[in-house]
Amino acid sequence: MDYAKIITRAWDIIKKRRYLWWLGILAVAFASLGSLTDFLRQVLGSSIPREKMARGFILMFGSQLSDVWPLIVIVTGIILLLAILIAYLSNSAHAGLILSVNQLEENQQEETFGSAFHKGTQYAWRLFGLNLLIGLIIFGLLLVVFLPIALALIFQAGTATYVITGIFAFLGLLALIVLSIYLSLSAMLGARTLVLNDVSILVALQRGKKLVRHQLKHTLLAWLINIALYIGFAIVVGIASAVLTAIFVGLGYLASQAGIGVLIGYSIIAVLIFLAILFVLGGIYTSYFSSYWTIAYRAIDYLEKKSRV
């Protein structure tokens, strides 16, 4: 495998095709929603102790809980529908990215944003199911690793039992890390198998696992290069974000000299611009690494087929 060619080819594909950026922005939308949720949870959790939040909720609504329930159900339903919609858009865009890059590599007619997204919709729920299946497997294995410790604590076992379960958990965690990498790589290749061959979730996962096992060296090298590229991208974005923040803060200081109204207006505009820049960077990031893995998958799949001849 020519890894340098894969790296440069992925960049050549996305640098002039803005529709791939838009697909990348949609593909990363679900992850962005999760990040926003985690951020709000951390902010609220750190500023207000959970006990006080629960006590305050009971004091405020305890006597009127029956009146509040309809509102809780409605809000929960809206959040659920929103999550489903974002998951659908995200996975449709992800499939559209895979299809678009593959067609470019096949020298077929280039897609547009609309056509790529439309073609990706038929794979959206299968991609979602594939990622969900991997997540559930890892979560189940995590429970198996830490269940002995939980039981030992619940039943207040002796020191020897704590030591044994601790060693088991440590070794289990190391094994789980290795297995998680294996499953993640299988899902990465399996997603492309699913979209490009129009197969079921289980078939895609089995083929992905087979590719990882049979072409382990090439898959691991592609993954390590992916990590190195990610670190480089994170450094560049971190520096750019620091520079932008300094500029925005400086302009904010100047705006504050003109009055509170100007400062508020400037703050709103600055936040919107900053978010827009982050979304564009997220789109470039997602489209590039999706292209990288689609090209890498084609090379790995070619080597697998060649080895069987």
Q: Would you write out the chain's pLDDT as a tens digit for each of its 309 residues? A: 788 999 999 999 888 888 888 888 888 765 544 444 443 344 444 444 545 545 555 555 555 555 667 777 888 888 888 888 888 888 999 999 999 999 999 887 888 888 889 999 999 999 999 988 998 988 888 888 777 777 777 776 667 776 777 787 788 888 888 888 999 999 999 999 999 999 999 999 999 999 999 999 999 999 999 999 999 988 988 898 888 888 888 888 888 888 888 888 888 888 888 888 888 888 888 899 999 999 999 999 999 888 876
pTM of the model: 0.78
Residue 29: name the closest of 113, 112, 92 by CA: 92
Q: What's the pLDDT at 63? A: 52
Q: Per-domain residue ranges for the chain?
A: 3-308
CA angle 12, 119, 90 (to 5 degrees): 75
Token look-up 């893995």 returns 293
Going 58 to 59 to 60 to 63, the CA torsion angle's sign is: positive
Q: How many CB atoms lie within 10 A of CB 19?
A: 20
